[in-house]
């Protein structure tokens, strides 16, 4: 229902109607609307993480980045509301949500390991890749690319550009790559922090 009508127009009234049930009856199965949003977010993060992991298996380097990027985009376009939900930050102290959030981001981080970036260099690369993917997909799913020019081609270009930039990654920035590694572990999704259920 979220993917059909949009996350913000997912109402309990409408959901109950679809289920052939009165609205208060839903509360035998859910906590609140916020709880539903949280469930969708967690499920979506898990799904996206799985999709990305499956895309990257058996690949490395630029090949892995490419495969993952295309899977990311495809999944997001197919499930726009779920994609949106996957970018909602966990509520403070929501351990389960935090876990799946980190897990999904870790997949992206892992794909970059073959470039053997250290410390902040790696953090920068992960942030860059996440930004690129999210930015492009946001515009695409939101209808922000109105021109007739081939969107597939634009995306391919963007990814190839990132791979080129990665090859030169050490050449710009202050290059004080002295921090510990495993840098992705605690980055988070974006968006307003989810309510505490």
Partner DNA sequence: CCCCGTAAGCTATTGACAATAGCTTTTAGC
Partner DNA sequence: GCTAAAAGCTATTGTCAATAGCTTACGGGG
* Rounded Cα gap, residues 94 and 24, in angstroms: 26
Tell me, what DSSP letter sits at residue 90?
Answer: P
* Rounded Cα gap, residues 186 and 197, in angstroms: 22
Q: C-alpha distances in angstroms, 176 versus 117, 124, 132?
A: 12, 12, 23
Residue 132 binds a second copy, judged by CB under 8 A = yes
Residue 187 binds a second copy, judged by CB under 8 A = yes
Which residue is associated with the tokens 């969708």?
40
Q: C-alpha distances in angstroms, 165 versus 84, 100, 112, 161?
A: 28, 29, 13, 6
* Paired tokens of 187: 């980055």
Cβ at position 143, least distance to a second copy in Å? 6
Residue 89 binds a second copy, judged by CB under 8 A = yes
Among 4, 60, 173, 196, binds a second copy (CB under 8 A): 173
Q: Which does 143 bind (CB under 5 to 8 A by kind): DNA, a second copy, none?
A: a second copy
The residue ranges that bind DNA (CB under 7 A) are: 11-14, 21-25, 27-29, 32-34
Residue 195 binds a second copy, judged by CB under 8 A = no
Binding mask 19-58 for a second copy (x = CB under 8 A): ----------------------------------------
Q: Do 150 and 63 contact (CB within 8 A), yes or no?
A: no
- List residues near a second copy by CB under 8 A: 6, 8, 87, 89, 120, 123-125, 127-128, 130-136, 138-139, 141-147, 149-151, 153-154, 156-158, 160-162, 164-166, 168-169, 171-174, 179, 183, 186-193
């Amino acid at each position: 229902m979220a993917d059909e009508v949009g996350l913000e127009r997912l109402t309990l009234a409408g959901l109950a109607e679809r289920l052939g049930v009165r609205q208060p009856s839903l509360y035998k199965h859910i906590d609140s609307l916020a709880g539903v949003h949280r469930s969708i977010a967690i499920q979506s993060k898990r799904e996206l993480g799985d999709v990305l992991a499956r895309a990257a298996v058996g690949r490395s380097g630029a090949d892995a980045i490419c495969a993952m990027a295309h899977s990311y985009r495809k999944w997001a376009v197919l499930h726009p509301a779920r994609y949106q939900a996957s970018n909602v930050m966990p509520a403070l102290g929501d351990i389960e949500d935090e876990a799946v959030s980190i897990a999904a981001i870790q997949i992206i981080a892992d794909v970059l390991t073959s470039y053997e970036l250290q410390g902040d260099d790696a953090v920068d690369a992960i942030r860059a890749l996440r930004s690129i993917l999210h930015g492009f997909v946001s515009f695409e799913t939101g209808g922000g690319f109105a021109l007739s020019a081939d969107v597939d081609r634009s995306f391919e270009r963007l990814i190839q550009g990132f791979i080129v930039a990665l090859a030169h990654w050490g050449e710009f920035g202050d290059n004080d790559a002295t921090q510990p590694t495993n840098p992705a572990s605690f980055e988070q999704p974006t968006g307003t922090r989810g309510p505490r259920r």
